[in-house]
Amino acid sequence: MNKFILKLIISLLLFYPVVGIAVGLVLYEYFPMHYFSLYPVIPGYFSILGTILFCALLYYRKNNPQKTTKVYMIFRGFKFLLTIGATLLFIITYEDFEYEFSITTAGFYFFYIITETYLFTRFERERVAKCKKD
């Protein structure tokens, strides 16, 4: 595994949970009225989706590099629809903390979209540089 891929894996597996824990601690300590028991599910959910996306990108990078961007965009659309569905399901199921859950989920969604866009552009630049070199 090359050094670039290792950096992306470390950033994916360490950065996401650290941010989730930090935000959770801030909510728990400074805004306890907005903290809810299912908070840890949100960063875990986005970390799992990020890991699945990264594995899919690695697979298509190796087997079919022309489809990498298409797969990335499909996963983003899938993540959007799945996130909206999960948020609506939570709001229907639990009437407490619907505002807090919605705002927290939206905040994490945008944070992860920005982070994944940055990682994907680095991933693509590396792939294009490797193709030019070969």
Residue 1: pLDDT band with limits 50, 70, 90:
low
pLDDT tier for residue 78 given thresholds of 50, 70 and 90: very high
- From CA 30, how far away is CA 33, in angstroms rounded? 9
The pLDDT value given to residue 4: 65
Q: What is the percent of the chain where pLDDT is above 70?
A: 96
- Cα 91-93-94 angle, rounded to 5 deg: 70
Each residue of 10-57: pLDDT tens digit?
777 788 888 888 988 998 899 888 888 888 888 888 888 888 888 888
